[in-house]
Amino acid sequence: MILGDWPVWFVWGVLFVLGSCVGSFLNVCIYRLPQHDEIWKAWKGLGHPPSACPYCRHRILAIDNVPLFGWLWLRGRCRFCRHWIPMRYPFVEMLNGALWVLLYAALVPNGWHATIDESWISSPLLPLTQVGWAPLDQEFWLHIRYVYYLVLVEALVVASFIDFDLTIIPDSVTAPAAAIGLLGSLTGCLGLVPVWFQSPSYIQAVWWQFDPNGMPPAWMLVTVPQWIAAHPQLHGLAVSLAGALLGGGMIWFMRIIGEWVFRREAMGFGDVTLMAMIGTFLGWQPMILIPFLACVIALVTVVSRGIFHLGREIPFGPYLSLATVIILLTWKYVFLAMQRYYDLGVFLVAFGLLTAVMLTGLLWLSQGVKWLLGIPLYEEEPPPEWTSADQLHFYANKDIRAGVGPMLPSRWPGESAGQGRLHQQHWHGNR
């Protein structure tokens, strides 16, 4: 039994409480990390000054900071000024507690006859048993995996809510998490699947389509390269770096193509760093699925809420985060469904390039549909606003003499006489 002598309900209950307590800290991160541009200053600002009501500035008592119960005890109001406390705070705490339980249920099998291979993130190509540890040590590393991916989930929660509020994803969220992802990969036993694998039979079938009498090179007929088992730490780092490059590169490509087609920024750079951070934990294979699943979730959400308006910007980071959590929790079954495509090996690169071309064509096709429907292809920039500063600047630089200054002279030569300014002009020498 993987959970040892502890009942499942007790373990899950403890995890929910701990996750809710950490969720209270995540609320602080969501509020304070965007207040600083530098990473060190942002994290330093989490501990000082102490938490206080943003309206009356009274310091929040320790008893009022108890997750969930503190908000319920105060009935959603400040103890001192009775101002409403947003429901966001208990929601984040409850959500984080639920994510702790869900992730543990997916990663750590439970039951009297459960085995480590029943973990939802296990893979027949890279099982935990290949590391060579004793059964007790395998259970230990399984819990290390849980903590490792828990860091990813916590970073996704913080990044999502900041993106909802400010449509930005600070580097103070993604950079530290990406560093943990890279360092954790050096253990060599936290990845989902090998950095490279292929099916020799699939490779031969595709090769014979172009050369019926030929044979592919020998290196294309190897299922998993031998250096992966020989150098697990180096392989773990390769998995992490490949995931970061592909994850960030895909969003960067979509950002460039979207700006080229729509002549406006299609995605923020924070989405690029977010996907690169996700890739350091999951590797490159899940990165192929996450953006497309995120697009589907975003489209369904936007349409269901009835806010499909031209020019409306929505934060994409929360949808990337939700798609990542779904893929992580169901990876064992997702991989079984997608393995036949991953087995194509080097030919998968060609399909990736073809997909990029098709995506570009679809974007231009959407522009063509808009043109046929008479919808403006590009958003017109609003006219510049005439502010009070502009007004003061205008009067400060305006000459009282007619024909001088920012205003154009009148075409009627008798305007000065009609306004009683003709002799004034003569006095200044303007005739």
pLDDT tens readout for residues 175-193: 999 999 999 999 888 888 8
Residue 348: predicted pLDDT? 81
What are the structural domain ranges in the chain?
A: 1-114, 163-381, 388-428
Res. 136: pLDDT tops 60: no
pLDDT top residue among 145 and 393 = 145
Asked whether 192 and 283 are in contact (CB, 8 A), the reply is: yes
Q: Name which of 2, 55, 60 is nearest 27 in CA terms.
A: 60
Residue 239: predicted pLDDT? 93
Contacts of 189 (CB under 8 A, 6+ apart): 128, 131, 141, 232, 236
User: What is d(CA 270, CA 232) in angstroms, rounded to the nearest whole number?
Assistant: 31
pTM of the complete model:
0.81
pLDDT tens readout for residues 52-100: 787 787 888 878 788 888 888 888 888 888 888 888 889 999 999 999 9
Residue 115: predicted pLDDT? 65
pLDDT top residue among 276 and 129 = 276
Lookup result for tokens 């209270």: 24
Q: Name which of 264, 253, 239, 112 is nearest 187 in CA terms.
A: 239
Q: What percentage of the chain reaches a pLDDT higher than 90?
A: 30
User: What is d(CA 185, CA 179) in angstroms, rounded to the nearest whole number?
Assistant: 10
Phi then psi for residue 59, to 5 deg, are -70, 135
Mean of all residue pLDDT scores within the chain: 80
Q: Name which of 140, 149, 145, 189 is nearest 2 in CA terms.
A: 140
pLDDT level of residue 7 (50, 70, 90 thresholds): confident
Asked whether 124 and 225 are in contact (CB, 8 A), the reply is: no
pLDDT top residue among 157 and 313 = 157
pLDDT level of residue 410 (50, 70, 90 thresholds): very low
pLDDT tens readout for residues 15-31: 999 999 999 999 999 99
Lookup result for tokens 């006219």: 383
